[in-house]
Structures are given as structure tokens and as C-alpha cells.
Amino acid sequence: MGDKMINIITSKYAIAAVLSLLISLALGPIAIPALRRLKFGQNIRKEGPQSHLKKAGTPTIGGLIFIGSTLITMLALRLKWNDEAMIVLYSLIAFGFIGFLDDLLKIIKKDNEGLKAWQKMVLLLVFSGAIAYYGYLNLSTSMIIPFLGKKVALGMFYIPFVIFIYAATTNAVNLTDGLDGLASTVSVLVLTFFAVSSFILGHDSVGLFCIALIGGLIGFLKYNAYPARIFMGDTGSLAIGGAIATIAIILEIPLLIPVVGGIYVLETLSVIIQVTSFKLTGKRIFKMAPIHHHFEQCGWSEVKIVTVFSVATVILCMIGFWAL
């Protein structure tokens, strides 16, 4: 195991990390002023935190930076088109495309609503259905049960299960992207878990992709950390969610996404609870949802929230290794 880790550090894996990082760092100074000139600025919800109103006009669609750096890196490594890592890359681009359309419409309409809910759902079903069908024909349709180490064959339930995983993960990451650097930092940690898991489970090329995306996200964080000079937008959050879902499905551990991605789950549940409570009782459980806004209203700074959520994610990832 020690020799393998040394080889990883000194091989194409290190090249992938460094190359993606450098490309991401280089794209930032190009993308930020270009998006400003194009007036591709973020629209801020009036019902959101008042402290966020000053962020109006900050360039968005920044997900193109780490999507681009990951794409260039993976192409430079010249993997076969049907390699597992390339399948994950296709999902990154596909779901990023949905987010890009959504962001673009928000900018054109100067409104916080881009694609209609049904339009986004149709696109999500098309892309997730296509990948699920490919997986049914070419990948294992078994899933590992966390903490038990047992595999369960899904059979005919594989395709609907995979579609659900995509819908849940992409929306959960999207809801997490509400503070400077939050979704980026949490996702770097979650992807680190999946990178190590890829090597443990014998899917080295998937680990290679994870490392490339991690490098791209770390480079992006230079511009996305508080105070953010650019936002990833739905372009970035949906791309990350799609990639994480595909990685987990290939590794046969999608049931670990709610464990290591507990912050994603917390953000999603806070919205569901808030909406349900208000509709049934007219009362709100949280000061604001998703829950990171609740903590903002309690006086926490964005940096404190990102730090606490990141520490929580590290702990959850350690639990995830125990559950493998």
C-alpha cells in the first residue's frame, strides 16, 4: 500500500492535480473581467439575507473555470473514451450544461428564476436516464450497504434508483451553494473521500478524475472564498453534484453520499422542513433556509459557517471510511 501511494504521488495523479490547479488559477483572471464586461452578474433574492444584497452583480457561471480545468486535464491524459474517469467527465459536463442554461436565462431575464422547474426536471431526467441506462448495460448494478459491507443487486430497480441519486445529489449541492466558498470547500473534502475510496476499491482512474476536479476546485477557491470575486452558479453546483453521483455509482457506494455529504443533506432537509412547516402551520422552524442562512441570521460570519461545516464534513468523511 505504501509503494502504491508513493507511485500515485509521483505519477499522472500528481500531474492531474497540479495541471488542473494551475489551469484553474490561470482561468480566474481571464474569466472574472470577461464576465463583468458581459454583465454576467449574480441576481440576489430580495427575500434573502440583507447582507447579500451587496453581492449583486458579482460574476457568476464561475463553474466553467473548474469544469474547464478538469476537462483540459483529462483530455491531456489521453484516456480511452469509455474509461470510467471519462464517464464521470461526461456527467460533469452534462449537468454543468443544465446549470449553464439555468444561469444564462437568469442573467437574460434579470431574475432569480432561470429554467422552469419542469424544464430542469426534463433535462435532469434525460441526462441521468442516459447515464443510468449506460450503467445498467456496462457497470455493476449492485450497491454496497454502508457499515455492513454487503452488496445488494438492484436489478430492474437500478435505473430508477440511479435517476433518484442524480436528482437528490445535484439539488442538494445546489442548495449548499449559498455562501462564499461553502459548496467549493465541502465538495473538495467529499471528493477527497471518494478519491481515496477509488484507490481502496480498485477504481484508480476514477480516483484520477477526483484528483483533477479537486485541483480545479482548489484553484477556483482562490477567487470564490470570502469575499468572493466570482460565484460558481448552477453551472458549477449541478456539475459537482452530477460528478459526485456518477463517482459514487461507479464505486457502488451511492448510499454513502448522505453520510460523507451530510452537509448537503442538512441543507436540503432544512428547506423541506421550512417549507412544510410554513404550509401546514404558517410558522417557520428556522430564521431562514437553507440552514446556512439561519446561522447567518444568528450572527455567524460566512467564514465561521464555512469553517464549521468543513470540520463537520471531515468528521463525516472519517465515518464514511469506517462505513466502507
Write out pLDDT tens, residues 152-182: 999 999 999 999 999 999 999 999 999 999 9
The predicted structure's pLDDT at residue 233: 95
pLDDT higher than 60, residue 216 = yes
Q: Which of 76-80, 246-250, 272-276, 310-314 has the lowest mean pLDDT?
A: 76-80
The model's confidence at residue 12, banded by pLDDT at 50, 70 and 90, is confident
Confidence of residue 41 (pLDDT cuts 50, 70, 90): confident
Q: What is the mean pLDDT of the chain?
A: 93
- All three cell numbers of 122: 426534463
Mean pLDDT of 57-86: 94
Identify each DSSP E strand in 55-149 by its residue range.
142-145
Kindly state the percentage of the chain with pLDDT values over 90.
Answer: 84
Angstrom distance (rounded) from CA 305 to CA 6: 35
Smallest Cα–Cα separation from 190: which of 132, 127, 271, 247?
Answer: 247
Q: Which are the contacts of 188, defined by CB distance < 8 A and separation ≥ 6? A: 214, 217, 218, 221
Phi-psi region of 142 (alpha: psi -120 to 50; beta: other; left: phi over 0): beta
pLDDT of residue 47: 61
Cell numbers for 93, please give them.
459536463
pLDDT value for 2: 56
DSSP state, residue 143: E
**Predicted local confidence at residue 305, as pLDDT:** 98
Strands (E), the chain: 142-145, 150-153
In tens, the pLDDT along 271-299 reads 999 999 999 999 999 999 999 999 999 99
What are the CB-based long-range contacts (under 8 Å, 24+) for 221-225?
221/181, 221/184, 221/185, 221/188, 222/25, 222/28, 223/28, 223/32, 223/62, 223/65, 224/62, 224/180, 224/181, 224/184, 225/180, 225/181, 225/184, 225/185
More confident residue, 45 or 150: 150
* 183: confidence class by pLDDT, cuts 50, 70, 90: very high
Confidence of residue 1 (pLDDT cuts 50, 70, 90): low
Residue 90 backbone dihedrals phi, psi, to 5 degrees: -60, -40
Radius of gyration of the chain (CA): 19
